[in-house]
Amino acid sequence: MAPKERKVSLVGLQVFYSAIFNGILMVPTFIIPTLEQLVILLGIGVLGGIGGLLLIQASKVTPANLIAPVQYSQLIWAILFGAMFFGEYPDWVAIVGMLIVVGAGLMNVLSEKRPIRWKPRVFFFRIGE
């Protein structure tokens, strides 16, 4: 990530390209969403944008090899939510792929020459400062 790049442009560019690509793909079957659906979509967009900005901030203050394994937890959440809400379970190809991704990430972290030191939680309000 370039040090001069603005956070908003990193997240915004992805949103812009996604909107164009997905907009073109949905033209044949587009149905105007209800007000409730628009509110849900707005909430998803706001939370996703905040999550992207927080991930960028995390990558500025923490080495990438310590952030990546935490992101691998998305695989676990995807499996759990897919099973709970949609009744979908990964097949053997997906399981092998996930094991490769997680294994490579763990090897990357464990192969570091310096030991991993987990940082304590950040407190927004510090007493005495």
pLDDT along the chain (129 residues), means of 10: 65 82 92 95 90 81 74 83 92 89 76 59 51
CA–CA dist 88, 7 (Å, integer):
35
| 8 Å CB contact between 69 and 104 | no
**pLDDT value, residue 124:** 52
| 8 Å CB contact between 69 and 109 | yes
**pLDDT value, residue 39:** 97
CA–CA dist 102, 90 (Å, integer):
15
pTM here?
Answer: 0.53
**pLDDT value, residue 7:** 63
**pLDDT value, residue 57:** 82
**pLDDT value, residue 93:** 94
What's at 62, amino acid-wise?
T
The number of residues in the chain equals 129
